[in-house]
Amino acid sequence: MAQFETVEVTTDLLICGGGMAACGAAVEAAYWAKKNGLKVTLVDKAAMDRSGAVAMGLSAINQYVGLKDGDNTVKDYVDYVRNDLMGVTREDLVASIARHVDGTVHLFEKWGLPIWKDENGAYVHEGRWQLMINGESYKIIVAEAAKNALGMDNIYERVFITHPLMDGDRVAGAVGFSVRENKFYVFKAKAVLTAMGGAVHVFKPRSVGEGLGRSWYPPFNSGASTYFTLQAGAEMTCQEVRFIPVRFKDAYGPVGAWFLLFKSRATNALGEAYMQTRRDELEKWVPYGKVKPVPANLRNWLMMLDVMEGKGPIYMRTEEAIENLSKEVPDEKARKKKLKELESEAWEDFLDMTISQAILWAGSNIAPEEKPSEIAACEPYFIGSHSGASGAWVSGPEDLAPPEYFWGYENMTTCKGLFAAGDASGASSHKFSSGSHAEGRIAAKAAIRFCVENADQPNVDNANVEELRNKILKPIELFEQHKAGSSDPDINPNYIKPKMFMFRLQKIMDEYAGGVSVNFTTSKPQLEKGLELLNFLREDSENLAAEDLHELMRCWENVHRMWQAEAHIRTIMFREETRWPGYYYRADYPEMKEDWEVFANCKYDPNSGQWEMIKREIKHIM
C-alpha cells in the first residue's frame, strides 16, 4: 500500500469547513483569539475561494432584517420562520441570528460585495427580507476576509475531515486526509466548530445520464456535519425536516426572484394558478395554512396536487410577469428600455448563481419575455440554513434561551466543546448565506470563550488515532489487494466502488423514504424496509474500495450520506403525523396532529451503537 505520512496539528479552536458559517467563524474567532493569545485553525475539503454552496455565487442575500431602518423587528423574523416551518423552530436561535445578521451584511458590503441600490441609495429588496446583489464573486470576497483574519499558515485546504477525536464526553479534535497528497491529518483541539454544510445526493436525483450529479444544492456537501456530530454522541434535531425546493426544471435555477421581485405566477398546463385554485386545501393545515406568506412546503404541496392529477407541466409565467411589469411604464420608449432591463435582470439572476440554467435556456430557445419555463419540485436535501431545519441541537444564548435550551455556550452541541453553525445546526431555518455567516461568528465567539474557560488540552488516545487511520485508509488498501481479481476495476466480488454504493443508497432512500419516484410519500412499513436495506448497506460499507485519493474522498462522502439517511428514516418514522406535506407525506398518518407540535430529536451512542429518539418541547419566547 502507498505510504501515508501522518501530520499532526495542535490548536485551540478547530473550524471544520470553509463555507459561509466557517468564514464568519474565522473572522470572529481571529479577533477574540488574538485578545486571548489563542490559535485558530481552519480545514476545508476544497479551496475556500469557491467552496461550499456559494461556490458559483448568489444573486441575493436572503436574510436582511433592516433593524436600523426600522423596517422590521426581530420578532417579525421569528414569526416568519416559525410559521414557515409549521411551528417547529427554536425561537431563541432564530432571534439570536436575526439581531446580528444586518451587521454581517454591512461587513460584506465593506469587503466589496456590490449590493443593488435604488436612486435614493437604499438597498433594493427582492422581497421583505431579501436584498439583490451582484454576487458572482460573493464567496471569493467573503473567503478573502476569512483568510486575511486567520493567515494562510492556519488554513488547510483540500483536507477532508472524516471523524471527531474524543476525550471521554469532550471533543478533542478531528482526523482526515489530504485529497491531493498521501497525508493523514490529526488535528488536536480544545474546541471544534463543525460547519461542513448540509447533505446532497442522499436521495436519487432527478438528473440522469450526462446530467448526473446536477442538483440545486452543491453535490460536494455530503453529510459530513451530521456524521461528525452523530459520532461525537451529540443530539440532533429535525432530522426529518428535509428541504425540497421548487426550481426551474432540470437546471435548478432559483425561483425567488421570479415570485418576489418580478411578481410572477406559476400555473399548470391548463393555465390555472394552483395557489388560487387549491386555496381550500390550506384549511387542512391550519393555523399554518392561513399565514402569509404561505409556508414553502405548502406552496410545494398545492403544486404537487396538480401534478398528481396529471395537470402538469407546471410553468413559471415569465412572459406574463415581464409584460405586466413593463406595462406599468406608460411611455413607449421608456417601456422598451424597461423591457430590456427586465430581460437582462432575468438572465443575470441565473448567471450569478446557477449558470447551467442560463445555458439550458439558451439551449432550448427560451426567451423569458416570450414563453414560460417549466418548474418542478427537486429531490430532497438536508439543509438547516434554508427552508429545511435538520442539524445539531445547540445551546441558545443566555439572555434569550429558556433554561431547557441553554447549557453554557451559545451554539455548543450537547457534546462538550463541539459547536455547530450554518447547515450544521438545526431548528434555526431561514438563515441562508448571511445568517449562516452571522451564526458562525456567534458560535466562534462562544467557542473561544470555551477555550479560555477550559484551558487544558484534552487527551488524545494514540491507539484510537491509529485505529481510525487504518479504518480511513482501508479502501485504498482493499483496492490494491484485489484489483487484479477482475478485468473491470469497477466490478469486483471483493469490494464495492463508492459510485455503486451511492446508487444503492439513493435507490433505497428514493423508493422507501419518500423520494421523487414515489411522490415524496412513505409509511411505517416502507421506512422499516428501507432501514433493513440500509443495514445491509452499512455492512457493505466495510468493503468500500478506492483507486486513488479522490475516490477515497468519495468513499467517505458516501459513508457520511448513509448516516444522514439513517437519522432521517428513524426520525420520519418517530414522528407519527404529516406536518410538512410538500416535503414528505406519511400515507399512514396523513394529518397534522397537535400533540406532535414538538421537536423530534435523535442521538447515536457510539459506544453501544444504539439510537435514542427524544421528544423536546417547543418553548415560545416571543
**72 touching ligand AMP, by CB under 6 A:** no
Answer positive or negative: Cα dihedral of 564, 7, 464, 189: negative
# chain residues binding ligand SFD, by CB under 6 A: 43
Site for ligand SFD in 42-71 (CB under 6 A): 43-46, 51-54, 58-62
Answer positive or negative: Cα dihedral of 47, 53, 54, 55: positive
Burial of residue 183, with CB atoms counted within 10 A of its CB: 0-12 exposed, 13-18 middle, 19 or more buried? middle
Closest alpha carbon to 458 in 187, 224, 193, 236: 187
Query: Smallest gap, in angstroms, from Cβ of residue 12 to ligand SFD?
Result: 19
Q: Which position among 326, 433, 523, 601 bears the catalytic label?
A: 433
Answer positive or negative: Cα dihedral of 172, 564, 20, 140: positive
**418 touching ligand SFD, by CB under 6 A:** no
Place of cell 405566477: 265
Place of cell 479552536: 13
Residue type present at position 282: L
Cis peptide before 313 (omega within 30 of 0): yes
H-type alpha helices, 151-193: none
Q: Which is nearer to ligand SFD, 195 or 325 (CB)?
A: 195
Burial of residue 97, with CB atoms counted within 10 A of its CB: 0-12 exposed, 13-18 middle, 19 or more buried? buried
387 φ/ψ angles, rounded to the nearest 5 degrees: -95, 15
Over the window 268 to 297, marking each residue x when it contacts ligand AMP by CB under 6 A and - when it does not, the resulting string is -------------------------x--x-
Burial of residue 482, with CB atoms counted within 10 A of its CB: 0-12 exposed, 13-18 middle, 19 or more buried? middle
Q: Which is nearer to ligand AMP, 252 or 409 (CB)?
A: 252
Query: Bridge-partner residues for 10, per DSSP?
Result: 188
Q: Which is nearer to ligand SFD, 351 or 452 (CB)?
A: 351
Binding-site partner at residue 422 among ligand SFD, ligand AMP, none, CB < 5 to 8 Å by type: ligand SFD
Question: Which DSSP letter does residue 403 get?
Answer: G
Site for ligand AMP in 296-335 (CB under 6 A): 296, 299
Over the window 226 to 265, marking each residue x when it contacts ligand SFD by CB under 6 A and - when it does not, the resulting string is ----------------------------x-x---------
β-strand pairing of 159-167 with 170-178: antiparallel
Alpha-carbon distances of 334 from 82, 89, 327, 331, 493, rounded to whole Å = 42, 46, 10, 5, 69
Q: Which position among 59, 62, 96, 428 bears the catalytic label?
A: 62
Query: Which segment (92-100, 218-226, 286-294, 600-608) binds ligand SFD by CB under 6 A?
Result: 218-226
Query: Smallest gap, in angstroms, from Cβ of residue 211 to ligand AMP?
Result: 20
**254 touching ligand AMP, by CB under 6 A:** yes
Question: Which DSSP letter does residue 117 get?
Answer: B
Distance from C-alpha of 86 to C-alpha of 291, rounded to nearest angstrom? 10
**581 touching ligand AMP, by CB under 6 A:** no
Annotation says 433 is catalytic:
yes
Distance from C-alpha of 526 to C-alpha of 438, rounded to nearest angstrom? 40
Annotation says 462 is catalytic:
no
Annotation says 90 is catalytic:
no
Over the window 327 to 366, marking each residue x when it contacts ligand SFD by CB under 6 A and - when it does not, the resulting string is --------------------------xx------------
Query: Smallest gap, in angstroms, from Cβ of residue 416 to ligand AMP?
Result: 35
Binding-site partner at residue 44 among ligand AMP, ligand SFD, none, CB < 5 to 8 Å by type: ligand SFD
Give the binding site for ligand AMP (CB under 6 A).
62, 127, 130, 245, 254-256, 259-260, 293, 296, 299, 387
Give the binding site for ligand SFD (CB under 6 A).
16-22, 43-46, 51-54, 58-62, 160-161, 195-197, 216-218, 220-221, 224, 254, 256, 353-354, 385-386, 422-423, 432-434, 436
